[in-house]
Structure 1
């Protein structure tokens, strides 16, 4: 008791000693905070941002802008064209989702086993084409270089496997919100991204 009272000055009882000790600690803390630089305090209170994994895909224009210009073979060209003519007005996430559908079809034994085969399936047959731009009678001219550059990067990321296929839950069909095809009433809707609704048939792709 005497030792405690001596250590805190005038305190003579346990309660007084406790109050005096608390007051001293508060005073010391206030002095320390007062002498600390504002920048140091800000660093202490600001959460540290977790850096993205190297090579991790982010569905943003900023991420695409950081990617090198893409190029590739015929499969890359076919996928890039499909994204350009079918979804260049969509969000980046929406464009990745459309690419997912095409690659999900490639993996399904109910569709051709190549990107170009999937995209051109039914082309030239009335009401049979799978992607409208391949049979709408319009020339397939690339008139927006920036949009072409973006979809090319998306196609490259998807074909190389750098982008995970987890946006549409294995969807093999999609349509814009402006239409409602008959099959949309019986297939399972898996996602809604931008102006597109995504569906999976009652059967699933072979790998999912």
Structure 2
């Protein structure tokens, strides 16, 4: 066997070995249509891995804290809650953040009366928990309505105002004189 043929044979074996797990994949076994279905199925599985309890907590918080806002304002409030989940000073779950004492003002036992509004915030909560980009609040971990001025608002960096809510980031404390 010539040197070229020997090299080509070795490369072919290496390629075959490298591709064997891909070729043996059930997704490719039945052609591209099956592969596309498998990919879509995997995406759906990722979306359904969202904790139903966290989804309910986030949807209720959005309903009671921001139901009068547009969808952008509701997404911004969802960002704050998820930013808190990721922050070391807050609980590590959505329900933990939402139920943290003294943080959210709504009555946790209140009834949801506007079913259409709840359906809308539920979709926003699902999208947020499924990994929607968090680009509205610039990392905010606090917010309040413009009708009040809590004492803590002077200590944190204001990031933006969306609708009737003002958002703050807590990782940069401001000097208070």
Q: 1:130 aligns with which of 84, 103, 116?
A: 103
Report the structure, 1 or 2, having the larger strand content: 2
Separation (CA, whole Å) in 2 of partners of 1:183 and 1:92: 26
Higher Cα Rg, which structure:
1
Q: Does the aligned pair in 2 maintain the 1:120–1:134 contact within 8 Å? A: no
Report the structure, 1 or 2, having the larger helix content: 2
Matches within 5 A, 1:1-208: 73-122=52-101, 129-134=102-107, 139-161=109-131, 163-203=132-172
Q: Does the aligned pair in 1 maintain the 2:141–2:170 contact within 8 Å? A: yes
Q: Which runs of 5+ in 2 are unaligned?
A: 1-49
Q: TM-score, normalised by structure 2?
A: 0.67
CA-CA distance at 1:180 after TM superposition: 0.3
* CA deviations over 1:84-105 (Å, ceiling 9, x no partner): 0000000110000000000000
Q: Which runs of 5+ in 1 are unaligned?
A: 1-70, 123-128
Q: Does the aligned pair in 1 maintain the 2:157–2:172 contact within 8 Å? A: no
Dislocated runs of 4+, deviation >3 Å: none
Q: TM-score, normalised by structure 1?
A: 0.57
CA RMSD of aligned residues (A): 1.7
